[in-house]
Every structure is written in structure tokens, then in C-alpha cells.
């Protein structure tokens, strides 16, 4: 980034660690916006190194909240994941903690003008360590493994994920969790799209892995609104005003609604995935 954008006098490039409160405070000084994307995100690595995940994903998120409030950074958008919903692994649990810290950080920011919100989405196509590069690497060695033939996942492109962050930056009032309306895929369809000539080997679900993911639970839907391209989970805290713009900008989510990858109404098939993956 420094070699590509370093000539822009508005930018500074820091080597540091989100675990370092002091370094984060130095980086936040003079900033208008923080996009909090730092995380340990590999499920097996988090299971094997639980406190390392906690230090980065939980304590690091608190450092973001503290730095933003202390330096009057007007907007914070933190990146979360569908694995934070009803978590069954440590990674999901730490991202749930992150969401809680970011949302409740608005209480401590009262009177400062600082707004803190989250975006929550599913698998990003081709992101480092995700299933697409893993499948492609396996194919080069003449094999392809899947954990369970029933498995489904939410799917979002990198551009769509960036657009969601920008939407949150523009529209956040503070305390929301923005959930995009995105398609689901079957892992078996993804395998066929990447390696149509290989028969996948079923190896069984890994520790901490779900068959299906959920982006919005029945309990959350009671305090969520449908805002067109996104669902917006509104906080249940006393500092949230009933006259907030989202009450009129969105419509209530139906009673009992859950947004899960296996009951989604929008799907990508093998042809869609081939076109998407190029």
C-alpha cells in the first residue's frame, strides 16, 4: 500500500498490532474513520490458540473503541461474520464479543459525536484461507475434499463486501449491525464449478463447523428492520432513541423471521459460480 499510495500526503502507514493500545492510539490521532478489519479468522487456528484469538479479536476490538472515543474519530465500522450468530466455535464467539463491544461502545461515546457500528456478512469469494483457494490448491494435486454434502454457505464478493462497508459509513447512526441480502450456495455446487471432473471426497465436519450459517436470528428479527438491500439490527439499549431514522427508513422484519443459508430464497447454481469465479 505504501508503494502504491505513498505519494498521497493525506496517508500515513504504521507498522503495528491491534493488540498494542498505545500504537493504535497513535494511529487513530487525526483520523475521521476507522474500518476495523483486523482479526484471527481461521477456525482451526482459533480453536488451537484460543487466547491468541481473544487478544486480537476481543481485546483488540476494545482498543479500537477506546482509541476512537479518545481521539474523536467520527465513524467506526467493524467487520463481523455470520459465525458470530449462535456461535459454535471460538472464532464466532470472539466476533460476537466484538459486535457487543462495538455496539455498546456508543454508550461510552455519548456526547462525543463518535458513531460505532458493525457489518456482518458471509464467506468472501476468494479471500485468503477461504474455501475457493483451498479447493483450487487441492485440484492441482488431483483431489478435492468437502466436509459434508449437505453444507450451505452465504456468498459475497469482495466488491460487495466493500460496498457494504461504505453503505455503513454513509448511513450509520451508531449501534447498528448491517446485514446484506446475499445469495447462498451449496458446497457441492461450488466443488462442481471448480472441479467438474473430480468426485469430491467427504471427510466429515471439522470441529467448530456448522452445516448451515445464519446472518439474522429469530430473536434479533424482533428488533431489526428491512431497509431494502440490507437488514439492520437495531440495538436494545436505553441510549437508542425510538425516533431514530431507521424506524421510518425501514420496515419491521416479520415475526419469527430468520435469515439462514439453507432457507435463503436466493441461490447461486453451478453456472452462476463458474461465471463468478471466472
Identify which of 33, 26, 36 has the alpha carbon closest to the alpha carbon of residue 59.
Answer: 36
CA distances from 29 to 67, 113, 215 (A): 8, 16, 34
The residues with which 33 forms a beta bridge, in sequence order, are 75
Query: How far apart are the C-alpha atoms of 231 and 18, rounded to whole Å?
Result: 29
Annotation marks residue 186 as catalytic: no
Query: How far apart are the C-alpha atoms of 271 and 222, rounded to whole Å?
Result: 36
The residues with which 267 forms a beta bridge, in sequence order, are 184
**How many CB atoms are closer than 10 A to CB 49?**
15
Residue of 41, 83, 95, 115 marked active site: 83
Query: How far apart are the C-alpha atoms of 18 and 63, rounded to whole Å?
Result: 7
Show which residues are catalytic.
83
Amino acid at each position: 500500500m505504501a508503494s502504491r499510495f505513498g505519494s498521497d500526503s493525506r496517508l500515513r502507514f504504521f507498522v503495528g498490532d491491534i493488540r498494542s493500545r498505545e500504537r493504535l492510539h497513535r494511529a487513530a490521532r487525526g483520523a475521521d474513520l476507522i474500518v476495523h478489519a483486523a482479526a484471527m479468522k481461521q477456525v482451526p487456528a482459533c480453536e488451537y490458540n484460543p487466547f491468541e484469538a481473544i487478544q486480537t479479536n476481543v481485546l483488540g476490538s476494545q482498543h479500537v473503541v477506546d482509541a476512537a472515543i479518545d481521539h474523536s474519530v467520527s465513524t467506526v465500522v467493524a467487520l463481523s461474520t455470520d459465525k458470530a450468530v449462535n456461535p459454535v466455535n471460538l472464532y464466532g464467539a470472539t466476533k460476537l464479543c466484538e459486535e457487543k463491544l462495538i455496539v455498546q461502545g456508543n454508550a461510552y461515546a455519548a456526547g462525543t459525536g463518535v458513531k460505532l457500528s458493525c457489518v456482518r456478512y458471509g464467506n468472501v469469494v476468494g479471500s485468503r484461507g477461504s474455501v475457493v483457494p483451498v479447493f483450487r490448491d487441492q485440484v492441482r494435486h488431483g483431489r478435492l475434499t468437502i466436509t459434508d454434502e449437505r453444507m450451505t454457505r452465504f456468498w459475497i464478493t469482495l466488491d460487495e463486501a466493500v460496498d457494504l462497508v461504505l453503505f455503513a459509513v454513509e448511513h450509520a447512526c451508531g449501534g447498528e449491525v448491517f446485514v446484506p441480502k446475499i445469495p447462498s450456495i451449496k458446497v457441492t455446487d461450488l466443488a462442481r464449478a471448480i472441479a467438474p471432473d473430480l468426485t469430491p471426497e467427504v471427510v466429515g465436519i471439522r470441529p467448530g463447523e456448522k452445516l448451515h450459517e445464519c446472518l439474522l436470528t429469530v430473536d434479533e428479527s424482533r428488533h431489526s428492520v428491512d431497509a431494502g438491500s440490507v437488514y439492520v439490527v437495531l440495538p436494545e439499549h436505553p441510549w437508542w432513541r425510538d425516533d431514530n431514522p431507521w424506524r421510518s427508513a425501514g420496515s419491521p422484519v416479520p415475526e419469527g423471521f430468520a435469515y439462514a443459508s439453507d432457507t435463503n430464497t436466493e441461490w447461486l447454481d453451478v453456472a452462476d459460480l463458474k461465471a463468478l469465479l471466472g
